[in-house]
Amino acid sequence: MGVNKWHGRRKYKDARTWKQRVQRFNDAWASIIDELVEQYICWKYSIPSQTAEPATTGWEFSIQIIDVYTLTREATIPRNSETKATSALVQAGYLPASPESPSIAVSLRTLELFYATRLFKPNFSVEAFAKTVCHLHSEPYRRSYRTALSDTFDIYLAIIRKVQSKVAKELGQDSLDYRARNSCPPCTYELEGEPPQTFSRMVVIDGNNSLKRLDGIGKREVSDTRVFGESDYYLSEEFVNRYADEIPARPQPNATAEVEEDLPGDWVNVEYGDPTDGDSDPILRECTDNWKAADADGAKRMWDAFRETGYFAMACRHGFVMWVADMIRSGELAKYPLAMVAKALKTFSPGWILGYDIGCSFSGTIRRSSLGPEFTEKRCRTCVNAFHGYAHCALCQQIYHPLNISGMGLEDLKTLERVFSWSNQLASITRYMSPYRRRVFIDLLLQQWDRDKYQNLATMLHNNYIQALDILEYEQPSFDADLQALGLTKDNLNLYIEEESQHFASLGTEAAEDLHAVAYVELLRKYQEVNTAYENASTNFRLHTPADYQFLSDAASYNVNLSEGRKAETRRRYLLEQRDKILFEVVQVETAMNVARRWEPNDQEYREALKYINTRKYRQALEKLHKLVVQRLFELHKMNLSNTGYKMRTHISNALQRRSKAIRNAVNSYNTAALALDPPRDTLDWSKVSHFTFLDQFNILQDTRHSVFDQPWAKPVTRSLMKQHCRIQRAKEEVLRCNVEIKRLHTSIVDEKKKFNAVQQKLQDSPMLGPVSDYIQQRQAVNQLLLARIHQTYDLPGFTGDRTAGQRKGSSETSATPITDLRTNPDPESDIGDDDNDDDDEFTEGVGAMVDFMSNVL
């Protein structure tokens, strides 16, 4: 027998691949997970196991342990001859690192600590926790400790998910899409007799490309082949791919488009269309091009090294995440938002509104897809969010911006920006995870996010109410005084808003009469040219002798002359056909324009049209520049950025930066056309134009047919009043909506308390009483905080809602209970209800500054 040599490499005892070993390891855990769940519940809630027998002497065993509480390194585990080592360990409060013949175990209390830490610090890695444990044990860090913690934490999470599913079943919360239908009471808990809402629900969608995961080297799959299908947040890849062929990819804009001057030429050509490719509305095409240009270096240019390039999500206006879907080797293709829309159409009540960065053009995409008829039938619509909406063209803002949509209230629709800001903490640890673990940790993060949003619900509604009341209290009196001073009414402002929309719809267009005159004169000139060419061709052979004429033989001369004659005759017939065709078009235009006598070059109409043709290029360049300038200035005015510098504005969004490049190109085109005139017109200096903030600085724009200088709605004072008018209208809507949503939340808490009491009574003799009571205790503690905040809202000066709970639609029981009967601490000056002690709410999170900024923008 030969001698096995080390040679510095590990010697394996079998020929199994690592993938096979991992698969066997996971299968072994799966076969005993239900037993471990039962033992965990017994340990956690001190319930005597019904199947456990007394320990037998001689069957106990010692094992190395990791415990941050006792810092002991070894434990003796009692058991009997019928008990497996894994079950005995769980009964004793430990979880083994291996399902068979374990050599190390981690205490369940230690795993609970790591679980709680991960809930509130998602980027706290297993390796960091393992090093912390080693430090506490005064031992050097070993990779085996990280592996043991990682493996046991996987199983611990699987046990927790099993327990949570059992709790949900006992509470009647395990039906299909229950979470999406019921997680947000202000959105879903409809009551009898409540006033109708313009939109049944406000939801937003968007994609995030931070949580990427590297693909296997050489496209090899990872060894961990488990599929995480226990999350009700994730839409399956199969469901998303149903909509992959709905919208074909549209050819990419060329690099000469004015909004895409600096667009990279190496865009990845995708097989399927993106969310803007389904829109064919020329008015919204500008928003589409700007969005694609701004997105070119992000979602559209995904590196081949990643398989999951991020995730796409949907959330309601209160922050609750509905669903997410992994973006697989692509950016924001149309299939991801379409899948979200399809799921929402099946789950939500009709009449909801969808916010999206490019909601204007995505509306056309939905209509062209198979979802279009149902989307229209259920009275759903799309819009843009408040912040990105100001980067859209002015006409788009009139239709799709939340500030201009009746029924939107003061909602900014930037919920997902806050979600992504929180989930980005996972970015540093998802790069090299297996698909299974990546989804597990994203699901864990989303669960905690929704729990935090529920705890913050009443605070959000309270702050929204205060914001709306402040607008009505402080802005409306000055608004009414300004209207009276200017001699205007609210009806005047509504008319101005309509006129502004009509004006922007016609910007950059030519008058119909101008187009007809130009077409008519061009046809006359073309007819004259062709007629002259025809007459010359007719007499060419008869009157013209070639200068290089040579005498030829009779046969050769005859053949050459025959060939030349045929060519001359062919050209003559061709020109005759062209002349007759043009003459027919001339007659048609004369009929349409009611021209009694054909225009001659000396006629006044002919000379004016010819002059217009000569200056048409200049006019077109001027009209185009006027369109871009007016839109940009009005957009900046709406965004309260008129007085900021050019560099500051370009940092606000890439779309505005692209718009500035479009204006620069328009300035260059204008200067070229202006210099070509006789005499030349004044030119513009781009370095000065980029800093213009008022229309009167563009004196040349007065020369356009679409001048806004004489329009009343173009005056700065009037425009401020128009925006303020919309803002006051939205504030009134926000008060009405908050009245409804606060009462829904109040009623849901009252009904939930009754339901909890009934469930606990039913489970008195069940092992599930402990887990269910634990959930109920935590939920009711949060509900007390919500009720205290609701009480503060009820006490606000100016509160106009109902202070009692209502009755849910379809329920035979009434919940009309005063809130003072349910609050454990009714004192509004207590810590629960004190505004000064709410430093843990949403407004002190890392995205608090963005929330305040968006409030000012809207």
DSSP 611-624: HHHHHHHHHHHHHH
For the chain, the C-alpha Rg in angstroms (whole number) is 37
The answer to whether position 652 is within a domain reads yes
pLDDT in tens, 130-145: 999 999 988 899 888 9
- Please name the amino acid found at residue 496: Y
* pLDDT at 193 exceeding the cut of 60: yes
- The pLDDT-based confidence of 652 (bands split at 50, 70, 90) is very low
| Cβ atoms of residues 824 and 378 within 8 Å | no
Number of H helices, E strands in the chain: 29, 10
Query: How many angstroms separate the Cα of 702 from the Cα of each of 389, 509, 625, 695, 699?
Result: 28, 16, 12, 10, 6
Specify whether 102 is located in the same domain as 221: no
Spatial contact of 340 and 312, defined as CB atoms under 8 Å apart: yes
pLDDT of residue 393: 72
Among 229, 578, 537, 180, which Cα is nearest to 343's? 180
Residue owning tokens 């939930």:
752
Nearest CA to 315 out of 433, 418, 220, 228 is that of 418
Of 18 and 303, more confident: 18
pLDDT at 594: 76
> Mean pLDDT, to the nearest integer, of 646-662?
48
pLDDT number for residue 639: 46
**CB environment 321-337: b (16+ within 10 A), e (fewer):** bbbbbbbbebbbbbbbb
Percent of the chain residues topping a pLDDT of 70: 69
Task: Tell me the two tokens of residue 30.
Answer: 């799966």
Give the helix ranges, DSSP H, for 714-768.
716-762
Q: Average the pLDDT over each of 50-64, 319-333, 750-764, 784-798 and give the range with the smallest value.
A: 50-64
Q: What is the pTM of this model?
A: 0.75
Between these two residues, 58 and 195, which has the higher pLDDT value?
Answer: 195
Lowest average pLDDT, out of 91-100, 201-210, 622-631, 692-701, goes to 692-701
Sort strands 202-208 and 353-355 into parallel, antiparallel or unpaired: parallel
**Where is 66: in which H helix or E strand?**
strand 61-66
Q: Number of structural domains, the chain?
A: 5
Q: Write the pLDDT tens digit of every residue in 414-446.
A: 899 899 989 999 988 888 888 999 999 999 999
> How high is the pLDDT of residue 245?
86
Same domain, 111 and 154: yes
Residues 214 and 150 in one domain: no
The predicted-structure confidence for 366-382, as pLDDT tens digits, reads as follows 999 999 999 999 999 99
Whether 693 and 749 map to the same domain: the answer is no
How far apart CA 123 and CA 119 sit, in angstroms, is 10
- The number of beta carbons lying within 10 Å of the beta carbon of residue 758 is 10
Query: Higher-confidence residue: 150 or 590?
Result: 150
Quick one: 661 and 561 in the same domain? no
How far is the C-alpha of 834 from the C-alpha of 160, rounded, in Å? 35
Mean pLDDT within 809-837: 48
84 lies in the same domain as 224:
no
Model pLDDT, residue 819: 47
> Would you say residue 445 lies in a domain?
yes
Q: What percent of the chain has pLDDT over 90?
A: 42
Asked if pLDDT for residue 808 goes beyond 90, the answer is yes
* The predicted structure's pLDDT at residue 564: 65
Residue 206 placed within a domain? yes
Q: Which of 78-87, 342-351, 439-448, 608-617 has the lowest mean pLDDT?
A: 608-617
Q: What are the b/e assignments for 358-375, b being 16+ CB within 10 Å?
A: bbbbbbbbbbbbebbeeb
pLDDT attached to residue 742: 97
Separation between Cα atoms, residue 393 and residue 284, nearest integer Å: 8
Q: Are residues 523 and 573 in the same domain?
A: yes
485 located within any domain: no
Mean pLDDT value of segment 327-337: 89
- pLDDT score recorded for residue 420: 92
Provide the mean pLDDT of the chain: 78
pLDDT band for position 290 (50/70/90)? low
Residue 723 lies in a domain: no
Shared domain check, 138 and 106: yes
Q: Rounded CA gap, 741 and 409, in Å? A: 13
Domain endpoint, select from 170, 191, 212: 170
Indicate the pLDDT class of residue 835, thresholds 50, 70 and 90: very low
What pLDDT does residue 650 have?
A: 42
Contact (Cβ atoms closer than 8 angstroms) between residue 402 and residue 389: yes
User: Which of 411, 427, 457 lies at the terminal end of a domain, its last residue?
Assistant: 457
Q: Is 278 within 8 Å of 364 (Cβ atoms)?
A: yes
Q: Is 333 helix (H, G, I), strand (E, B) or coil?
A: coil
678 and 588 co-located in one domain: no
327: left (phi over 0), alpha (psi -120 to 50) or beta: beta
Over 60: is that where the pLDDT of 4 sits?
no
Residue 77's SS3 state is strand
pLDDT at residue 605 in the model: 72
The enclosing H or E element of 441 equals helix 435-455
Which residue is associated with the tokens 């919309």? 726
pLDDT at 83: 84
- Considering only CA atoms, which of 82, 108, 84 is closest in space to residue 95? 108
Task: Give Cβ neighbours of residue 638 (< 8 Å, ≥ 6 apart).
Answer: 390, 397, 723
Same domain, 141 and 217: no
Cβ neighbours of residue 568 closer than 8 Å, sequence gap 6 or more? 537, 540, 541
Q: Which amino acid is at 503?
A: H
Which of the pair, 448 or 570, is modelled with greater confidence? 448
The domain in which residue 113 lies consists of 19-170
Cis before 679? omega within 30: yes
Task: Provide the pLDDT confidence category of residue 289 given band limits of 50, 70 and 90.
Answer: low
Higher-pLDDT residue of 243 and 643 is: 243
- Tens digits of residue pLDDT in 704-740: 444 555 677 667 788 888 889 999 999 999 999 999 9
Stretch among 296-300, 518-522, 753-757, 793-797 having the lowest mean pLDDT = 296-300
**CB contact at 8 A, 278 and 334:** yes
Tell me if 10 is assigned to some domain: no
The answer to whether 249 touches 274, Cβ cutoff 8 Å, is yes
**Is the same domain home to 232 and 380?**
yes
593 with 626, same domain: the answer is: no
Q: What is the pLDDT of residue 829?
A: 38
pLDDT beyond 80 at 624: no
- 460 pLDDT more than 70: yes
Q: For residue 260, how many other CB atoms are within 10 A of its CB? A: 20
